[in-house]
Amino acid sequence: ALVNHCLSHFESSTLYAKELAKGQHWVITAGPTREPIDPVRYISNHSSGKMGYALASAASKLGANVTIISGPVTLPTPDGCQRVDVESALCMHEQALALAPQADVFIACAAVADYRIAQVADQKIKKTNDEMTINLVKNPDIVADVAKLASKPFTVGFAAETQDVATYAKDKLARKNLDMIAANDVSAEGQGFNSDNNALSVFTSTEQFDISLASKGQVAEQLVSLIVKQNKK
């Protein structure tokens, strides 16, 4: 009877996930990037980093060794996590490609700038003209490049969309060779970038899982648990 009890307890969701995640190395990108225009100006986005930090905290609680590659945020580093601070997408790409080959799980939760400024000015640009044009070039695709690695970790992408969420997410999953993608509708009320809550539609190549609206901490626990189990398959 004692053995049965222990087994059933072991197989209960959290303990089972803990056993699987223990000692794994997870790398999680979080927050926005900043793309410099000149020494004072930049392009960025409304990511607060809360979701990525919640995922790092949840994975760490399961016993994983977590490294956060973090854009500029105002959040404290979760207990037990390592943190590498970066500003630009190019720096985040460099750190991600350096850390991902040794990782078991890679979660690309950062809101990485798709484009950077083609030619960054050394000095503050003077506003001499009534109009101005900024030429942008595409940044490298961090999660796609991680998913191309010979020693590819279980690779999870995010899709923040304002329309046709499922369509864009499933296309991104296939096109970038991801193992999982977590999509949210940032145009919906009460979830997304600066909110404390989130709701996710999670896709693998064969399945869909819906994580309903809850605190980012609770959503993170569910997503991390799902990653652990899918990774084991």
129 or 151: whose CB is closer to its own copies?
Answer: 129
Fill in the per-residue mask, 173 to 212: x = in contact with its own copies (CB under 8 A), - = not in contact. Answer: -------------xx-----x-------------------
Tell whether residue 119 is a contact of its own copies (CB under 8 A): no
222-225: long-range contacts, CB 8 A cutoff, minimum separation 24: 223/55, 223/58, 223/182, 224/17, 224/21, 224/55, 224/58, 224/59, 224/62, 225/13, 225/14, 225/17, 225/62
- Catalytic entry in 4, 45, 65, 197: 45
Tell whether residue 6 is a contact of its own copies (CB under 8 A): no
Q: Which of 27, 154, 153, 158 is nearest to 93 (CA)?
A: 27
138 or 229: whose CB is closer to its own copies?
Answer: 138
Burial class (CB within 10 angstroms; exposed 0-12, middle 13-18, buried 19+) of 168: middle
Question: Minimum Å distance from CB 28 to its own copies?
Answer: 20
Question: Minimum Å distance from CB 117 to its own copies?
Answer: 9
Q: Is the dihedral angle over the CA atoms 27, 151, 229, 208 positive or is it negative?
A: positive
Question: 231 catalytic, yes or no?
Answer: no
Which of 9, 22, 138, 229: binder of its own copies (CB under 8 A)?
A: 138
CA dist 108 and 52 (Å) reads 8
What are the φ and ψ backbone dihedral angles of 189, each rounded to 5 degrees? -65, 140
Tell whether residue 163 is a contact of its own copies (CB under 8 A): yes
User: How many residues are listed for the chain in this entry?
Assistant: 233
Which of 22, 46, 175, 229: binder of its own copies (CB under 8 A)?
A: 46
Binding site for its own copies (CB under 8 A): 37, 39-46, 74, 111, 113-115, 118, 123-124, 127, 129-138, 160-163, 186-187, 193
